Amino acid sequence: SCGVVAYSLLCGELPFRGSSNEKLAEHIKSGPVSFSRGAWRKVNQSQLAVMCVHSLLMKDPAHRPSPREAVSDPWFDKVKPPRTAAAQRAQVLPEEGALDGTLQSLQAFRKQSTLKRVAMHALL
């Protein structure tokens, strides 16, 4: 989800942990997300960033912001660069079919073992 990506980009760690696939799945479903672990303490994130990422990681999708609400979050307003009129006119969209393999790649990644995914994450 966008929340997992945002969390990982800001602190360099994944928000959910587990010693097995079952424990990882349980933590994803019901475990709390920590914003006080080492990486969050090291990175001086604003309270706005924490509130934004926390909302993106809500377990119940009904309580998560919509994409439009998420990009309108005050933290995004604070960190996104101003757009010039020229930049707005020149929005670059991928060519048709350019993203056809993306879903298959993500599904293949998801099917990998947890160890392999963690190793890939560490290498990248």
Domain locations in the chain? 2-82+103-123
- The reported pLDDT for the residue numbered 87 is 61
The mean pLDDT values, 10 residues at a time, for the chain of 124 residues are 87 84 88 78 74 92 91 83 64 60 73 71 61
**What is the model's pTM?**
0.61
**Centroid of chain to Cα 85:** 29
- The reported pLDDT for the residue numbered 66 is 92
With both helix axes pointing from N to C terminus, report the angle between 2-11 and 47-56 in degrees, rounded to the nearest 10. 150
- The reported pLDDT for the residue numbered 88 is 60
- The reported pLDDT for the residue numbered 12 is 79
Q: Would you tell me which CATH number, out of the four given (2.40.30.10, 1.10.510.10, 3.30.470.20, 1.10.10.10), belongs to the domain 2-82+103-123?
A: 1.10.510.10
For residue 40, the tally of other CB atoms under 10 A from its CB is: 19
Task: Catalogue the long-range contacts made by 29-35 (C-beta closer than 8 Å, 24 or more residues apart).
Answer: 29/59, 30/59, 33/7, 33/57
